[in-house]
Structure 1
Amino acid sequence: MKKKRSFSPPQLLIGLFGVSILIGTFLLKLPIAHTTSISWLDALFTAVSAITVTGLVVVDTGTVYTLFGQFVILGLIQLGGLGIMTFAVLIFLMLGRKIGYRGRLIVQQSLNQNDAGGIIRLAIRLAVFSFIIQFFAIGLLSTVWVPELGLWKGLYFSLFHAVSAFNNAGFGLLPDNLVAYVGNPIINLVISGLLILGGIGFTVLVDMWRSKTIRQWSLHTKIMIVGTIVINAVAMLFIFFTEWKNPNSIGTLPLKDKLWASYFQAVSPRTAGFNTIDLTGLDDATIFFMIVLMFIGAGSASTGGGIKLTTFIIILLATLAFFRSKHELTIFNREIRQELIFKSLAIAMSSVLLVVGALFILTHTEHDVNFLTILFEVVSAFGTVGLSLGITAKLTVFGKIVIIIVMFAGKLGPLTLVFSITRPDKRKIKFPKGDVLAG
């Protein structure tokens, strides 16, 4: 008798995303989804960009897609941001169905958790938190857009941007994104707040909710909170002083608007995709700095991408520990497990290889685009950020396919893709140690 093939959680997760993308592409290609004809490739690109919560667009969302098409995009964003398996859990529970151990493993893989214990409870809390936060954000944003656009259009704009921002998607309904609101406090605070909450990670939000004091926070929560504050502050100061006199970015703005613009652009590259100034006018140093921010990305179990802030911090601390000849890596009086250090290095290295490979291909296919612009586009796709220097719609067919692959890999994570095609080494053979000269 032939043994029935069993798919691993990473393989099933990739399959679910693949099916969702195909359905999304078909819906976006329907005549009722767009005002002007679009190609199958552009529909596929948009579907992948939406479900990976990236935000890179080849056509203008607000004018090319109808209300139906925009709702399809919105649905894909919500599905990709909260996770396909989170929605599956909610549907199963509403139908009174129990979720078995295998289903819990898939949810665990989807939410990037180390343990399957309590994973269903986490998924439920995740959904509840998300919908509550987005609901309040809609109310706040409507105070700006309802007086400006009217009741129904204002509410719709508030809904679309709240969902897009919380899921770190970066899809907007305005051709110039949020440039018109560079100095608007409500737009800046609400959108950036959603980006931070969505990007900090659901496990952090749940931990903060159920902890009575800061001392009760988990190590992961402490690292994420401190790391987020530090990296956002450093990024804001860097952009503010680098672009201070640049007339093509914030140089001509009043001081108040310069501060708002610097703050928003500091938060946004961490997988958000929104911008309040024209990015093509930025100094090369700022562009490269934003590339670094996009590569680092948001937090684990969040709506964002990148190698993750905790991964970056672990590698940075491991490097400093080596320089100080320390054999253990400690932070907040806790020792980091060696397996976590190896995992962080594997994530970073596989991500670098993915970005370099895509960059190598695009430098051959996109002959009229300079290197830094291509690098910005590739890292934006990998980090599921969605920021662009204006070349997305101009990419060649092959260039669009490459970016689609990078967005998909960036959302699922390079390690998920590797684990889906490899099997763990179960051999227990030990070999004698050997020395290799390094450095």
Structure 2
Amino acid sequence: MLVASPPKLLVLGFALIILVGAELLTLPIASAAGHSTRWIDALFTATSATCVTGLVVVDTGTYYSTFGQLVILSLIQIGGLGFMTMATLFAVFLKRRISLKERLVLQEALNQSSIEGIVRLVRKVLFYTLCIEAAGAVSFTLRFMFDMSPGRALYYGIFHAVSFFNNAGFDIMGHFRSFTMYVGDPVMNLTAALLIFLGGIGFVVLADLVEYRTKRKLSLHSKVALSMSGLLIAAGAVIIFIFEYTNSLTMGPLSFGEKVLAAFFQSVSPRTAGVNTVDLASLRQATQFILIVLMFIGASPGSTGGGIKTTTFAALIGAVNTMIRGKEDVVMFNYRLAKERVYKALTVTLFALALVMVATMVLSTTEDHQFLMILFEVTSAFGTVGLTMGLTPELTLVGKIIIILMMFIGRLGPLTLSYAIAPKPGRVLYRNAEGKIIIG
């Protein structure tokens, strides 16, 4: 009897959830007009929701009915937490023993180095998720009540809290507006930014922060993830503020305080959230390129976000710094980083670059749009971000398929997918003689 490896189970599990979601979204009851949605559009939406991306070919708020929106919200929650996490939670509630095989799949899904305490971590994941989403829903609901009825405000509050914490970027504001009408609203901006940040730093980091009062220390992973996330958000906000300060189409007409808020939010959103408060197509090209870089880096490991991850980027920066200083070991917070970690960071980054480059070249031939817009779309899909300059609704059939594949690969991770499809390595019988090449 053939037993699938953990990476294969993850790939098959996510694929099955997407297909089920697509079938549900094709039902007439899922659309506001009461007619069946084209299967490719339903597949695109289901992939975007399950892979917590947020790219949409039709407007979520006006095209889909309440049933369709709830299907999307369910896919977001399952995709954000991971289907194995959800399955484990059901098993725990039913008091069923979690097998070793299931623990190995959970280890792969949560990007952990061992299976020790994995079930305990899953319980924490559910608890933190429910608490944070509930707090976000309350904040959003209270603010939405100034603009709509209490029942509708509650629905909007829950939908956007779940979507933003899971870094999905789906919104139901209508007409592809995202949160542009709240560009100067501190409650909406700060609530959304906090949900995005907490969803993007990873559940291991969240657990570390919650237990800091008793342990009085953070793990190396948490220190690197938090410091790099903070540095990227701060640097991105400053750059966006400078480049867009006088742009009359984006931040120019805003007051100084609103400009600071808008720059901060646009820097947080590429953590893979996909929400924007200014028109991204009207940003200066330099700003759009900065957003591409931030989207490519993405969130932290073990989170609801995508990208190559903040810790991967930190390992690369550390390796470059080590080489420039003529040292041998990559040191972070007085800890030496194992060489295989640096090799893995390099592999992930080059793999991701290759995927983005190939997809961008293909779309450059199938889509009649500017190169930067296409690169922005591909990077957003790979990083499971969901930000767009307006290309998504205009994609051709080939373009939709390419973006679907990029979202799927981005959510699972390029290495997980490669492990799933690669043949099992054979036993190494010998090592080759060492050789030398000239570098640089």
TM-score (norm 2): 0.97
Letter in 2 for 1:370: Q
Deviations 1:78-107 (A, max 9, x none): 001111111001111111211110000001
Aligned position for 2:272: 271
Aligned position for 1:23: 20
Deviations 1:331-358 (A, max 9, x none): 1100001110011011001101111110
Give 1:25-424 correspondences, 5 Å limit.
25-36=22-33, 37=35, 38-174=37-173, 175=175, 176-212=177-213, 216-366=217-367, 368-422=368-422, 423-424=424-425
Aligned with residue 10 of structure 1, among 7, 14, 38: 7
Give 3-state SS (helix, strand or coil) of 2:17's partner: helix
Question: How far apart, CA to CA, are the structure 2 residues paired with 1:160 and 1:259?
Answer: 27
Question: How far apart, CA to CA, are the structure 1 residues paired with 2:208 and 2:430?
Answer: 40
Task: Give structure 1 stretches of 5+ with no counterpart.
Answer: none
Deviation of residue 214 (structure 1)? 8.2
Question: How far apart, CA to CA, are the structure 2 residues paired with 1:340 and 1:39?
Answer: 44
Question: How far apart, CA to CA, are the structure 1 residues paired with 2:183 and 2:262?
Answer: 6
Letter in 2 for 1:389: M
User: Alpha carbon RMSD of aligned pairs, Å?
Assistant: 1.0
Deviation of residue 230 (structure 1)? 1.2
Question: How far apart, CA to CA, are the structure 1 residues paired with 2:148 and 2:32?
Answer: 21
Question: How far apart, CA to CA, are the structure 2 residues paired with 1:256 and 1:424?
Answer: 57
Give 3-state SS (helix, strand or coil) of 2:304's partner: coil
1:428–1:328 distance in 2 versus 1, CA, 3 Å: farther
Give 3-state SS (helix, strand or coil) of 2:213's partner: coil
Question: How far apart, CA to CA, are the structure 1 residues paired with 2:291 and 2:130?
Answer: 30
1:434–1:206 distance in 2 versus 1, CA, 3 Å: same
Give 3-state SS (helix, strand or coil) of 1:335's partner: strand
Letter in 2 for 1:438: I
Question: How far apart, CA to CA, are the structure 1 residues paired with 2:280 and 2:374?
Answer: 14
Deviation of residue 280 (structure 1)? 0.8
Deviation of residue 212 (structure 1)? 2.7
Deviation of residue 321 (structure 1)? 0.5
Question: How far apart, CA to CA, are the structure 2 residues paired with 1:328 and 1:425?
Answer: 31
Give 3-state SS (helix, strand or coil) of 2:157's partner: helix
Question: How far apart, CA to CA, are the structure 1 residues paired with 2:426 and 2:308?
Answer: 24
Question: How far apart, CA to CA, are the structure 2 residues paired with 1:347 and 1:403?
Answer: 19
Give 3-state SS (helix, strand or coil) of 1:269's partner: helix
Give 3-state SS (helix, strand or coil) of 2:125's partner: helix
Question: How far apart, CA to CA, are the structure 2 residues paired with 1:177 and 1:212?
Answer: 37
Deviations 1:103-147 (A, max 9, x none): 000011111111111111101100110001111111111111123
Question: How far apart, CA to CA, are the structure 2 residues paired with 1:220 and 1:364?
Answer: 41
1:337–1:215 distance in 2 versus 1, CA, 3 Å: farther
Question: How far apart, CA to CA, are the structure 1 residues paired with 2:436 and 2:3?
Answer: 40
Question: How far apart, CA to CA, are the structure 2 residues paired with 1:428 and 1:95?
Answer: 47
Question: How far apart, CA to CA, are the structure 2 residues paired with 1:402 and 1:254?
Answer: 40
Task: Give structure 2 stretches of 5+ with no counterpart.
Answer: none
1:318–1:214 distance in 2 versus 1, CA, 3 Å: farther
Give 3-state SS (helix, strand or coil) of 1:330's partner: strand
Deviation of residue 425 (structure 1)? 4.5
Letter in 2 for 1:393: P
Deviation of residue 308 (structure 1)? 0.1
Deviations 1:278-313 (A, max 9, x none): 111100000000000000000000000000000001
TM-score (norm 1): 0.98
Aligned length: 435
Question: How far apart, CA to CA, are the structure 2 residues paired with 1:425 and 1:114?
Answer: 23
Question: How far apart, CA to CA, are the structure 1 residues paired with 2:317 and 2:425?
Answer: 28
Give the percent of matched residue pairs that are identical in Structure 1 and Structure 2. 46
Deviation of residue 256 (structure 1)? 1.4
Give 3-state SS (helix, strand or coil) of 1:158's partner: helix
Give 3-state SS (helix, strand or coil) of 1:148's partner: coil
Question: How far apart, CA to CA, are the structure 1 residues paired with 2:54 and 2:395?
Answer: 15
Question: How far apart, CA to CA, are the structure 1 residues paired with 2:220 and 2:75?
Answer: 32
Deviation of residue 255 (structure 1)? 1.1
Deviation of residue 436 (structure 1)? 1.5
Deviation of residue 215 (structure 1)? 5.5
Question: How far apart, CA to CA, are the structure 1 residues paired with 2:84 and 2:243?
Answer: 43
Question: How far apart, CA to CA, are the structure 2 residues paired with 1:184 and 1:55?
Answer: 22
Deviations 1:51-92 (A, max 9, x none): 000000000001110000000000000001111111001111
Letter in 1 for 2:402: V
Question: How far apart, CA to CA, are the structure 1 residues paired with 2:54 and 2:235?
Answer: 25
Question: How far apart, CA to CA, are the structure 2 residues paired with 1:434 and 1:212?
Answer: 52
Deviation of residue 35 (structure 1)? 2.0
